[in-house]
Amino acid sequence: MTAYPTRLDHPHDLVGIGIGPFNLSLAALADGVHGGLGTAFYDRSPAFRWHPGLLIEDATLQVPFLADLVTLADPTSRWTFLNYLKARDRLFPFYVAERFHILRAEYDAYCRWVSGQLPGLRFGHQVDAVRWNPERALFEIDFTQTGREGEAEALGRAHARNIAVGIGSEPYIPEPLRPLAEAPTVPVIHSADYLDHRDRLLAAGHITVIGSGQSGAEIFLDLLRCRPTGLERIHWLGRTEAFAPMEYSKLGLEHFTPDYTRYFHALPEHVRDELVPRQWQLHKGIDADTIAAIHDELYRRTLHGGWPDAVLTPGVCVRTAGRVGTTKVELHLEHAQQGARSRITTDAVVLATGYRERPLDGLLAGLDPYLRRDGSERLRVDEHHRIALAPAVTGSVYVQNAERHSHGVGAPDLGLAAWRSATILNHLTGTEPYPLPRRTAFTSFGLDGRDRTRPVPAPRGLVPLTEVR
């Protein structure tokens, strides 16, 4: 195995670890910084891929096309979605189509177009370790260059003044189902791998979909459309009390603005921790059009009498699960409101159980003595999306989509990608290559005006409140 020479004399201004949409956004905006930034972005995958297992036909993004990699920070950038359409000679068809929410597959194609042209992206590079070199005042990043099949080909080391970690999230499989997902005889697969196993799932006699969010709804609808009328044999189970719509009112969407992010970050830690679980419908609900399409498909199957053989049950959790012989799975269920328990036997299970932030402790183990943590031992992240480090470290480690505990439900939202990237670059450069809006929401999220950008005028004619004893 060969090794790259170390270049201490040419450190990067910024090294990105992971090339998902968020670090791709950062790389695209860094490309436009006047005077240039020395950057390199590493990812272990051989090429850009964005949830390939969920690029179901006709599935759309839940954010408008303006939530691309750069537009909300720099609409004049050459990396906008509209410029992608122009480069592909598709601008007028898009204009006529009047699509505000684009196909998920189209967003993936747009990101692949950017990643194929943007300089400084190094796919097939697995970052193994990160350290701080106090003598050089630089970060050291050790990596392994891999081949097409993931085999190690060469070792290398890069040096950087700053780092941006954007390694994304990973599929979450509930504890009772992990042993089943690891055994191959009966298909128990996460929704992230749905399209790879779709034919096998459709061949199963009975299918169970677990998860009441958008992915679960899209997969249930796709399976339903492909099954014969009256012989659907699909169960759809969810823990939430209802198959609920995503909060998509205009004022509700203001929770995904920089104003709300700043407000949330300023709240006490215990308040933030209590708040996030209560806001599940802001990001874990189902698009109203998808709900309507499911109901329309079920209704269509009643036109000639009878009901579809499909069971939709919310408010249910899987207590335990096990195999029945070699071809079936038995799920033991509990209904939260009834307190009732039951079981079903199925031939295949799709786990639309969401994602969890990938832990950073392993990757940043070399920085552990310098890391500052909150009361729950999570990394402290400041308003610039920078991990709090000991004063001895003069460089910055920024994080993307690893700060929901400190920045709220907008952390994984594509609509805040460009703003967060611009915030990072403004802080990193100490200038303002991307001037950001001073106010972004009509809602004032606090009483004291700290979330506002201009003074709140004193009210007139109010009678002072007195405490009744």
| HSE-up (13 A, CA, CB side) for residue 310 | 23
Amino acid at 256: F
How far is the C-alpha of 100 from the C-alpha of 95, rounded, in Å?
Answer: 10
Average pLDDT value for residue range 253-265: 97
DSSP code of 237? E
Token code pair at residue 130? 């990160």
pLDDT score recorded for residue 180:
86
Question: Does residue 462 surpass a pLDDT of 60?
Answer: no
pLDDT digits (tens, 9 = 90+) for 321-342: 998 888 899 999 999 999 999 9
pLDDT of residue 466: 46
Tens digit of each residue's pLDDT (9 = 90 or more) over 162-201:
999 999 999 999 988 888 887 777 899 999 999 999 999 9
pLDDT at 101: 95
Percentage above 90 pLDDT, the chain: 87
pLDDT digits (tens, 9 = 90+) for 382-409: 999 999 999 999 999 999 999 999 999 9
């969401």: which residue's tokens?
354
Cβ count near 162 (within 10 Å): 23
pLDDT tens digit string along 28-86? 999 999 988 999 999 999 999 999 999 999 999 999 999 999 999 999 999 999 999 99
Helix (H, G, I), strand (E, B) or coil at 34: coil
Confidence of residue 458 (pLDDT cuts 50, 70, 90): very low
Give 39's strand partners: 14
User: Tens digits of per-residue pLDDT, 336-378?
Assistant: 999 999 999 999 999 999 999 999 999 999 999 999 999 999 9
Rounded distance between C-alpha atoms, residue 439 and residue 168, angstroms: 28
Between the alpha carbon of residue 80 and those of residues 27, 30, 322, 388, 417, the distances in Å are 13, 14, 49, 32, 13
> Which residue type is seen at 293?
A
Cβ–Cβ < 8 Å for 253, 409: no
pTM of the model: 0.93
238: its two tokens: 């969810």
pLDDT band at 6 (very low <50, low <70, confident <90, very high): low
Backbone angles phi, psi at 328, to 5 degrees: -135, 160
Q: Does residue 459 surpass a pLDDT of 50? A: no
214-243: per-residue pLDDT in tens? 999 999 999 999 999 999 999 999 999 999
On the CB side of 8, CA atoms within 13 Å amount to 5
Average pLDDT, the chain: 92
Nearest Cα neighbor of 246 from 210, 278, 293, 214 is 214
Tokens standing for residue 296: 């329309």
Q: Are 416 and 440 in contact (CB under 8 A)?
A: no
Phi, psi of 120 (to 5 degrees): 85, 5
Cα(3)–Cα(75) distance, integer angstroms: 41
pLDDT (0 to 100) of residue 186? 82
Helices (H), 237-357: 258-266, 269-278, 280-283, 288-300
Q: What per-residue confidence (pLDDT) applies to 150?
A: 81
Burial of 314 (0-12, 13-18, 19+ CB in 10 A): middle
For 135-146, what is the mean pLDDT?
97
Name beta bridge partners: 187. Answer: none
Say yes or no to pLDDT of 127 above 50.
yes
Rounded to whole angstroms, the Cα distance separating 225 from 208 reads 15
pLDDT confidence tier of residue 19, bands split at 50, 70 and 90:
very high
What is the tens place of the pLDDT at every residue in 282-333?
A: 988 999 999 999 999 999 999 999 999 999 999 999 999 998 888 899 999 9
Q: What are the phi and psi torsion angles at 351 (to 5°)?
A: -100, 95
Neighbour count for residue 376 (Cβ, 10 Å): 9
Average pLDDT over residues 129-142: 97
Three-point CA angle 301, 307, 313, nearest 5°: 105
